[in-house]
C-alpha cells in the first residue's frame, strides 16, 4: 500500500493513504489486519480523510514494513469483521444529526417566514398523528403530550415554539436510536462466535481445520461443552443443546438425528455430527441482535421503572395544565406546564445511560448481556471465585511428566494430548500445548471419547482402556491402582503443582505435573473488591485441601472450600441466596456452569469453556482479572448516574413549571430550556462512567 506519514511522535504515527477513496469495508479490513501484527497496539482509520492513526510499542520499521506489504485485496479477513463493524452505522447517524442542524440553521437564514411556517405545519402532522393513535389505543403516554404541546402551539400561532419543540425532539430521537443501536451492536459483536478451528469428519477420519475452510455440506463433530459454529442438520448422535442465545429458552433442547441446530448454541451433553447448512457469519449476528432487542433481560429494573414512571406522569401533566388554566385563565401559564413534562427526559436519559454503560464495559473487554446485570453487580454483597483459570493464571503449563510404566514421557504425553485436545479446558489446553512444543504428533488412535464433567476423559487407545483426569476420578471412581513398587515414587510427587493422572488398563501410567500459578494481581483484586463493597469473598475449588488453603491465604478470601463438585458450588450459591444475599459467581470451566446459572450474576472468563461463557451473564477478559474491579466501578457509577438523572430531571422541570406558572418565563422559553436540559442530561449519560 502506498502512503505517507503526515505526523509522528514516539509510539504513534498518522498516515495518509494514497488512494482515491477508502470505504467502510476497506477501513475495517485495514484496522483488523494491522491490529493482528506486531508491534501495533491500537489503530483508528478515518475513511473520509483516508487517514489512519497507528499506536505501537517497539520497532517502528516493523510497522512501516507491515504497511508497505498491506493490500486491501490480498488480506484474508472473516466476513463478520467488516459486515457488522458498526462503522457505517456511526457515520449514518452522525450524518443525520449534521443534516438536522444544517436544515434548521439553513431554514432560518434563507427561507421566508410563510414558507417556514408551512414546513413546520407539515412536520407537525407526524407528532400530532402519533398522539391521536396513542389515544386511540386507550393510552395516555409521552406521544400524547408531545402531540398536544405542538398542536396547542400551532393553534396559538406560536410557530417558533412548535418548531423548537420538534427540532429538539428530532435530535433526541436520533441520539436515542443511535445510542441504542450502537450499544446493541457492540454487545452483539462481543457475543458473536469466536471459533477459529473445528473438527471435521472426512473419509472416516476427524481432522482439525480452520472454520474458514468449512463449506456447506461438510460434516463437523460437536462434543459436549462446545459451541455449535454453524447452522446444520444432525446426521449422527444425540445430545442436549442450550439454545438460550437464540430463543431465550432456559432448559436445554434434545437433539436427535434429523434435528436442526443453530450457530452459537451450546451442546451441554452428548455428541453430534452435523451437516453444515449455513456458513455465513452475518446470519448468526442478525439472530443475536434480534434476541437482544426483544429480550427483557436487556433492561435493568431502574430503567424499566423510569419508562413506566414516564408514562404514568403524562396524565398528571395534562391535568396540571388544565388546572392552571382553570385557576388563572391564562393560556401562557397553562402552556408552561404542558411544555415541561418529566416523562420525556425520563424515557430518553435512562436507557441511554444503561446502554452507554454496556458499551463502556465492552471497551474494557467486558461483555454484559443486559443492564439488569450491571444493577445487580452494584447491589451484590457476596462474590464466589472458582480457583483454576480465575484466581490462578488462565494459561497453566506442563512442567513435568512422571512415568509409572516402561514407556517414554513423549509417548505418554502424546496419548494424553490425543484425548485432551477434544475438550476446551485450561488444563487440557496445557497438555496439548506441551505436546505441540515438543513436536509430538498424536494421531487419532482412539475410539469415541467420553467426557465426565469435573472428573476426566475415558476412551480406548489401540485396544486398551485409557482414562485421564482427577485423583477422585482415576483412583476412586475408576479404582485404578499405582503399579507395584511405585508407591514411594507416587508419594514423592511435587506438591507445588496440580496433578493430572493418566491410567491405562486400570494401572497408573503417568502423572502430568501442571503449574497453575496464582495471578500476580489476584490478591490486589480481592482487596479492591472488598473496598468496593463486597463483604464476603469466597473461593471454591476441586483441588486438594493443601492447595486450596495455600491459595486462600495468599489471596485473602474470607472463606474457601476444597475438593468440591459442580453441584456443591451451585448448592452453596443457592444457600447464600436463601440467606438473603445477592451473589456473584466467577468461573471458567464446564463444571462452573451450574453455579454460574444459579447466581444472581454469573461471570465467565473469556477463554474459558464455551458452555460457561454461554450461560454467564457477563464475560471478562482472561488476561485482566482487574476487569472485575472495573466492572464493579461501572456498575456503581451507573446506579449513581441514574439516581442523579432522577434528581436533575425532577429539579429542573419542577423549577420550570414554577417559573412558568408564576409568569416569569414564556412557554417558548420554557419548552426550549426543558428540551435543552433533556438533551444535556442525555448527552451526559453517554459519557464514560470511569474517567
Per-residue pLDDT tens for 146-168?
A: 888 788 888 888 888 788 778 87
The answer to the question of residue 26 being in a domain is yes
The answer to the question of residue 140 being in a domain is no
Same domain for 376 and 522: yes
The answer to the question of residue 691 being in a domain is no
Same domain for 67 and 28: yes
Question: What pLDDT is recorded for position 282?
Answer: 45
The answer to the question of residue 174 being in a domain is no
3-state helix/strand/coil string of 217-239: CCEEEEECCCECCCEEEEEEEEE
Where among 623, 647, 679 does a domain terminate? 623
Same domain for 522 and 610: yes
Alpha-carbon distance of 595 to 603, in angstroms, equals: 10
Question: What pLDDT is recorded for position 196?
Answer: 61
Question: What pLDDT is recorded for position 64?
Answer: 92
Question: What pLDDT is recorded for position 425?
Answer: 67
Helix axes 667-685, 159-191, angle to 10 degrees: 10
The answer to the question of residue 357 being in a domain is no
Highest mean pLDDT among 276-285, 370-379, 525-534: 525-534
Same domain for 586 and 549: yes
Could you tell me how far CA 182 lies from the centroid of its own chain?
A: 13
Same domain for 489 and 417: yes
Where among 293, 310, 342 does a domain terminate? 293
Question: What pLDDT is recorded for position 297?
Answer: 47
Complete DSSP assignment for 515-561: E-PBPTTHHHHHHHHHHHT--EEEEE-SS-HHHHHHHHHHHT-SEEE
CA distances from 430 to 199, 427, 441, 502, 592 (A): 19, 5, 15, 15, 19
With a pLDDT cut of 70, the percent of the chain lying above it is 85
Question: Which grid cell sits at 519?
Answer: 495471578
**What is the residue-averaged pLDDT of the chain?**
82
Give the mean model confidence (pLDDT) for residues 419-434.
Answer: 80
Same domain for 203 and 230: yes
More confident residue, 23 or 579: 579
Q: Grade residue 296 by pLDDT with cuts at 50, 70 and 90.
A: very low
Question: Residue 53: CB partners within 8 Å, gap ≥ 6?
Answer: 12, 13, 14, 43, 44, 46
The answer to the question of residue 208 being in a domain is yes
Same domain for 496 and 589: no
Give the DSSP letter of residue 564: -
Same domain for 423 and 285: no
- Listed range (119-128, 164-173, 296-305, 615-624) with the worst mean pLDDT: 296-305
Model confidence at 343: pLDDT above 80: no
Same domain for 425 and 383: no
Question: What pLDDT is recorded for position 442?
Answer: 60
Are β-strands 456-461 and 464-469 bridged in parallel, bridged antiparallel, or unpaired?
A: antiparallel
Please report how many Cα atoms fall inside a 13 Å half-sphere around the Cα of residue 508, on the Cβ side.
Answer: 27
Which domain does 26 fall in, by range? 3-77
Question: What pLDDT is recorded for position 250?
Answer: 55
CATH number of the domain where residue 246 is located: 2.70.150.10
The answer to the question of residue 206 being in a domain is yes
Q: Per the omega criterion (within 30 degrees of 0), is the bond before 407 cis?
A: no
Model confidence at 535: pLDDT above 90: yes
Question: What pLDDT is recorded for position 331?
Answer: 76
| Number of domains the chain is built from | 4
Model confidence at 452: pLDDT above 60: yes
Same domain for 508 and 541: no
Where among 293, 325, 341 does a domain terminate? 293
CATH number of the domain where residue 556 is located: 3.40.50.1000
Q: Are 285 and 266 in contact (CB under 8 A)?
A: no
Same domain for 229 and 251: yes
Of 355, 365, 367, nearest to 300 by C-alpha is 355
CATH number of the domain where residue 484 is located: 3.40.1110.10
More confident residue, 147 or 668: 147
Same domain for 476 and 582: no
Highest mean pLDDT among 43-47, 213-217, 304-308, 445-449: 43-47
Q: Grade residue 82 by pLDDT with cuts at 50, 70 and 90.
A: low
More confident residue, 208 or 182: 208
Question: Residue 2: CB partners within 8 Å, gap ≥ 6?
Answer: 17, 18, 19
The answer to the question of residue 549 being in a domain is yes
Question: What pLDDT is recorded for position 295?
Answer: 46
CATH number of the domain where residue 28 is located: 3.30.1360.10
Amino acid at each position: 500500500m502506498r502512503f505517507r506519514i503526515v505526523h509522528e511522535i514516539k509510539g504513534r504515527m498518522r498516515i495518509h493513504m494514497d488512494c482515491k477513496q477508502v470505504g467502510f469495508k476497506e477501513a475495517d479490513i485495514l484496522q483488523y489486519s494491522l491490529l493482528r501484527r506486531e508491534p501495533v497496539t491500537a489503530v483508528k482509520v478515518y475513511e473520509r480523510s483516508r487517514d489512519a492513526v497507528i499506536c505501537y510499542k517497539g520497532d517502528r520499521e516493523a510497522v512501516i514494513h507491515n504497511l508497505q506489504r498491506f493490500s486491501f485485496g490480498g488480506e484474508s479477513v472473516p466476513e463478520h469483521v467488516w459486515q457488522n463493524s458498526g462503522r457505517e452505522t456511526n457515520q449514518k447517524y452522525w450524518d443525520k444529526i449534521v443534516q438536522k442542524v444544517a436544515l434548521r440553521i439553513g431554514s432560518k437564514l434563507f427561507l421566508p417566514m410563510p414558507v417556514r411556517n408551512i414546513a413546520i405545519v407539515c412536520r407537525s402532522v407526524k407528532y400530532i398523528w402519533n398522539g391521536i393513535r396513542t389515544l386511540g389505543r386507550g393510552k395516555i403516554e409521552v406521544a400524547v403530550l408531545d402531540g398536544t404541546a405542538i398542536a396547542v402551539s400551532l393553534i396559538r400561532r406560536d410557530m417558533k415554539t412548535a418548531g423548537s419543540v420538534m427540532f429538539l425532539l428530532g435530535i433526541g430521537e436520533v441520539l436515542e436510536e443511535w445510542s441504542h443501536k450502537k450499544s446493541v451492536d457492540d454487545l452483539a459483536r462481543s457475543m458473536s462466535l469466536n471459533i477459529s478451528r473445528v473438527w471435521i469428519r472426512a473419509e472416516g477420519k476427524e481432522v482439525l481445520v480452520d472454520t474458514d475452510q468449512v463449506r456447506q455440506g461438510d460434516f463437523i463433530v460437536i462434543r459436549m461443552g462446545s459451541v455449535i459454529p454453524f447452522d446444520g442438520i444432525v446426521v449422527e448422535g444425540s445430545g442436549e443443546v442450550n439454545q438460550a442465545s437464540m430463543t431465550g429458552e432456559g432448559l436445554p433442547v434434545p437433539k436427535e438425528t434429523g434435528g436442526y441446530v443453530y450457530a452459537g448454541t451450546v451442546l451441554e451433553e452428548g455428541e453430534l455430527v452435523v451437516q453444515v447448512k449455513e456458513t455465513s457469519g452475518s446470519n448468526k449476528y442478525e439472530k443475536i441482535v434480534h434476541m437482544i432487542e426483544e429480550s427483557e433481560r436487556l433492561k435493568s429494573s431502574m430503567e424499566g421503572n423510569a419508562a413506566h414512571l414516564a408514562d404514568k406522569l403524562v396524565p398528571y401533566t395534562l391535568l396540571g395544565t388544565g388546572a392552571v388554566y382553570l385557576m388563572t385563565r391564562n393560556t401562557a401559564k397553562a402552556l408552561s406546564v404542558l411544555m415541561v413534562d418529566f416523562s420525556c427526559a425520563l424515557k430518553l436519559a435512562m436507557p441511554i445511560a444503561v446502554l452507554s454503560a454496556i458499551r463502556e464495559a465492552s471497551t474494557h473487554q467486558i461483555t454484559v448481556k443486559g443492564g439488569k446485570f450491571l444493577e445487580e453487580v452494584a447491589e451484590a454483597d457476596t462474590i464466589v471465585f472458582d480457583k483454576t483459570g480465575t484466581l490462578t493464571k488462565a494459561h497453566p503449563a506442563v512442567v513435568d511428566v512422571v512415568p509409572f510404566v516402561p514407556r517414554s514421557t513423549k509417548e505418554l504425553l502424546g496419548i494424553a494430548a490425543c484425548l485432551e485436545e477434544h475438550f476446551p479446558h485450561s488444563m487440557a489446553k496445557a497438555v496439548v500445548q506441551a505436546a505441540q512444543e515438543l513436536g509430538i504428533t498424536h494421531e487419532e488412535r482412539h475410539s469415541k471419547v467420553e467426557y465426565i464433567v469435573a472428573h476426566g476423559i475415558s476412551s480406548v487407545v489401540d485396544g486398551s482402556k485409557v482414562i485421564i483426569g482427577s485423583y477422585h476420578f482415576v483412583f476412586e471412581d475408576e479404582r485404578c491402582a499405582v503399579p507395584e513398587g511405585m508407591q514411594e515414587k507416587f508419594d514423592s510427587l511435587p506438591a507445588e503443582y496440580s496433578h493430572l493422572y493418566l491410567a491405562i488398563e486400570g494401572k497408573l501410567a503417568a502423572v502430568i505435573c501442571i503449574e497453575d500459578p496464582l495471578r500476580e494481581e489476584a490478591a490486589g483484586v480481592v482487596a479492591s473488591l472488598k473496598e468496593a463493597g463486597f463483604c464476603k469473598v469466597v473461593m471454591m475449588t476441586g483441588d486438594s485441601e493443601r492447595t486450596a488453603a495455600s491459595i486462600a491465604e495468599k489471596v485473602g478470601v474470607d472463606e474457601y472450600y476444597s475438593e468440591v463438585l459442580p453441584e456443591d458450588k451451585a448448592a452453596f450459591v443457592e444457600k447464600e441466596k436463601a440467606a438473603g444475599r445477592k451473589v456473584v459467581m466467577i468461573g471458567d470451566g464446564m463444571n462452573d456452569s451450574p453455579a454460574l446459572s444459579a447466581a444472581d450474576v454469573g461471570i465467565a472468563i473469556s477463554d474459558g469453556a464455551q458452555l460457561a461463557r454461554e450461560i454467564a451473564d457477563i464475560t471478562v477478559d482472561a488476561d485482566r482479572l482487574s476487569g472485575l474491579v472495573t466492572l464493579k466501578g461501572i456498575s456503581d457509577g451507573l446506579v449513581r448516574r441514574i439516581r442523579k438523572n432522577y434528581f436533575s430531571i425532577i429539579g429542573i422541570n419542577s423549577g420550570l413549571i414554577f417559573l412558568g406558572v408564576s409568569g416569569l418565563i414564556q412557554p417558548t422559553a420554557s419548552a426550549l430550556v426543558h428540551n435543552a436540559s433533556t438533551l444535556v442530561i442525555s448527552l451526559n449519560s453517554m459519557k464514560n462512567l470511569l474517567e
